[in-house]
Amino acid sequence: MKDYLLQIWVSTKTIFLGLGVTFRHFFMPNATQQYLADENPEARWNSVIVPDGRLNERSRMRLHVKIEDCIGCKQCEKVCPVDCIYITTEKREKDEAPIFASDGTAIKQRVVQFDIDMSLCCYCQLCVYPCPTVCIVMTPEFEFAETSKENFLYRFAKEKPLRPAAEKKHEPAAAGA
């Protein structure tokens, strides 16, 4: 009998404790906010804890290549764990006017293909570190949905190949990427 009443008492007590918690929360300020990206794009980066304007300092979202700076070293292609970067280069002719990347590195390769398949990208940022001219970067842009998967192939190269492309071997990633 004692246990019986105790059960009732404990149930009632703990239920009212819980009700008290939820009741308090009816009057607490909301943790969420209205998503107002249409009116105020900056609001996407609002955070409860991180100071304003600092959340996206190191954001790793959409990849971008400043193709003018690319020297065609293929470091990023090598390091990519999912093989989503494809680069084809041609040697620039000796008689062509020398061009330089914005940090002064001489560009000796003509980048005729610089494709990034964003549908494969795993946003690990490993491609960014080895780049000697900081031309491949990750931007804080994250709204880039497409209606067709093919449109996720970003083709950055601006120059057309002068010679017919040499046989380029791409082994499919052995484990399927």
Partner 1 sequence: MKRPALETKISNFLSPLVVAGAGGFLVAIALLPKIAEAIRAQLGAMLPPTWATVANIALGVLATVFLVAQLPIFLIWFERKVAAHAQDRLGPMRVGWHGVLQSFADGIKLLFKEDIIADGIDRQLFRIAPVLVVMGAFGAFAVVPWGPGLLISDLNIALLYIVAITSLGAIGILMAGWASNNKYSLYGGMRSAAQLVAYEIPTALIILVVVLQVGSLSLQDIVAAQGDGLLGENRWLLTRMYGLNVVAFVIFFICGLAETNRNPFDIPEAESELVAGFHTEYSGMRFAFFFLAEYGAMWLVAGVAAILFLGGWVGPYFSGPLVFFLKTLFLVFVQMWLRWTLPRLRVDQLLALCWKYLIPIALAALVVVAGLSVQAS
Partner 2 sequence: MASQRVYKDLEPDTAYAFKPEDLEDDEMILNMGPQHPSTHGVLRIELKTDGEIVKDARPHLGYLHRNFEKHAENIDYQGVIPFTDRMDYVASMANSLTYAVAVEKLMAIEVGERVKSIRVLVSELQRIASHLLAIGTYGLDIGAFTPFLHCFREREKILDLFEWLCGARLLYNYNWVGGVSHDLPDGWTEKARQFLGEFAPVIEELDDLLSHNKIFTDRTATVGIIPPDLAVAYALSGPNLRGSGIKWDVRKEDPYCGYEKYDFEIPVGQGRYGPIGSCWDRYYVRVEEMRQSVRILHQALDKLPAEGDVHEKVPKRIKPNPGEAYARTETPRGELAFYIVSDGGLIPYRVKGRSPCFVSMSLFHEIARGEMIADIIAIIGSLDIVLGEIDR
Partner 3 sequence: MSLKAADIQARLEAKFPGKIVAAKLDAIDPFLVVDQSALLDMGRTLRDEPELAFDTLHCLSAVDYLKEDRIEIVYHLSSLKHRHWIVLKVFLPRVDPKIPSVEKIWPTANWHEREAYDLFGVTFVAHSDPRRIFLPEDWAGHPLRKDWVWPEEWHGIAVKPGKQFAQRASEGESLGIGPFD
Tell which positions 29-58 bind partner 1, by CB under 8 A: 29-34, 38
Examine residue 83 and tell whether it contacts partner 3 (CB under 8 A): yes
| DSSP percent split of the chain into helix, strand, coil, nearest 5 | 25, 15, 60
Here the tokens at position 165 are 């492309």
Q: Give the number of residues in contact with partner 1, rule: CB under 8 A.
A: 18
Q: How far is the CB of 48 from partner 3 (least distance, A)?
A: 34
Contact 121, 158 (CB under 8 A): no
Question: Is residue 101 a contact residue for partner 3 (CB under 8 A)?
Answer: no
The DSSP-derived string for 59-83 is ---SEEE-GGG-----HHHHH-TT-
Stretch 115-144: interaction string toward partner 1, x if CB under 8 A = ------------------------------
Alpha-carbon dihedral of residues 91, 92, 93, 95, nearest 10 degrees?
-160
Binding-site ranges for partner 1 (CB under 8 A): 7-8, 15, 18-19, 21-23, 25-26, 28-34, 38
Binding-site ranges for partner 3 (CB under 8 A): 64-65, 67, 83-86, 88, 113, 115-117, 119-120, 149-158, 165, 168, 170, 172-173, 176-177
